[in-house]
Chain A
Amino acid sequence: MIVPFGHVLILAGLLFLMGILCVVARRSLIMILLGIEIMLNAVAIILVGSSLLWQHLEGQAIVLFVFAIAGAEVSIGLALIVWAYRRTGSMDPNDYNLLK
């Protein structure tokens, strides 16, 4: 007996909210990518918890794929950030206004 499933949902929901706040409020590309990682982690917590709730391994299998996609996303994202930093010398998204 651990806890009601609702408490897991509340924990993951608050974690997801923190990820959203980090993405929309911070003005640094690295913090935006960190916010996405926080959101993916919250989703992984829900999936593992639901896998325990229904006593089925399917949720854990999806978490494995989420990990792989997080790895690919963060490597591409950080490479793009480094590329943009070399071209503009800034990591503030407000400075990327070459089309303006």
Chain B
Amino acid sequence: MTIYSIIFYILAILILVTTGLAITRRNLVHAVIYLIFSFFGSAMLFYLFGAPFLAVLEVIIYAGAIMVLFLFVVIMMKADTGNERIFALRQWLPVAVVGLVYIAIGMGIIAGDPNSRITLKTAQAAPSVFGQFIFKNHWLSIEIISLLLLVALAGVLIIGRRSRKPSAAETSKGEL
């Protein structure tokens, strides 16, 4: 057991515990903050797997931008989930059955795959090598996702625009 495998198991436990805490919190702010810890763990896992550029992107995009966006929305809206039951009693049976079937099938697939017994060797993809690979082999996809982000920006602007107040003539008959 090398130092790398010890780091992997520590990170795996950290990720699973913080994610499990996040999905069971009633308070949405607590859930978001636990999930930030989970994403930091994933970033360190990416670094361990030799993807330093993706580790940085995980911190910036997931733990930074996306979670801050969630935090803003949670703060902006009075989300009262105080009396929410995480699982209603009549949902327990389907949840347990479906989860156990998923775990059993997944374990079967992983145990039957010969690749899953290969031990990973450490390697590192330097960001410059990664960037050259991306722009040599996937330049069209890069353009497409930049266009996708632009479309998402325009869509958010259209959705977020405050809708026009209905004029008096439209509401005078008691209907919208």
A82 contacts B57, C-beta separation under 8 Å: no
Within 8 A of B (CB), among A1-44: 1-11, 13-15, 17-22, 24-28, 30-31, 33-35, 37-38, 41, 44
The one of A18, A28, A53 that contacts B79, using a Cβ cutoff of 8 Å: A28
Which of B12, B20, B49, B57 has the most chain A CB atoms inside 10 A of its CB? B49
The one of A17, A68, A82 that contacts B102, using a Cβ cutoff of 8 Å: A17
Q: Which residue of A lies closest to B4 (CB)?
A: A2
A68 contacts B4, C-beta separation under 8 Å: no
A6 contacts B117, C-beta separation under 8 Å: yes
Contact with A along B105-142 (1 / 0, CB 8 A): 01100110101111111110100011001100110010
The one of A10, A22, A41, A53 that contacts B120, using a Cβ cutoff of 8 Å: A53
How far is B28's CA from A17's CA once the two chains are assembled, in angstroms? 20
How far is B158's CA from A35's CA once the two chains are assembled, in angstroms? 25
How far is B55's CA from A67's CA once the two chains are assembled, in angstroms? 11
B99 contacts A2, C-beta separation under 8 Å: no
Interface size on B, residues (CB 8 A): 83
List the count of A-B residue pairs having beta carbons below 8 Å apart.
Answer: 217
Knowing A2-B48, A48-B51 are in contact, say whether A79-B120 is a contact too (CB < 8 A).
no
A17 contacts B103, C-beta separation under 8 Å: yes
A-B contacts, 21 of them at CB < 8 A, read A1-B5, A2-B122, A4-B116, A4-B118, A5-B116, A8-B120, A9-B113, A9-B116, A10-B106, A15-B19, A17-B102, A28-B81, A28-B84, A31-B28, A38-B19, A44-B46, A52-B50, A57-B125, A67-B54, A68-B145, A83-B160
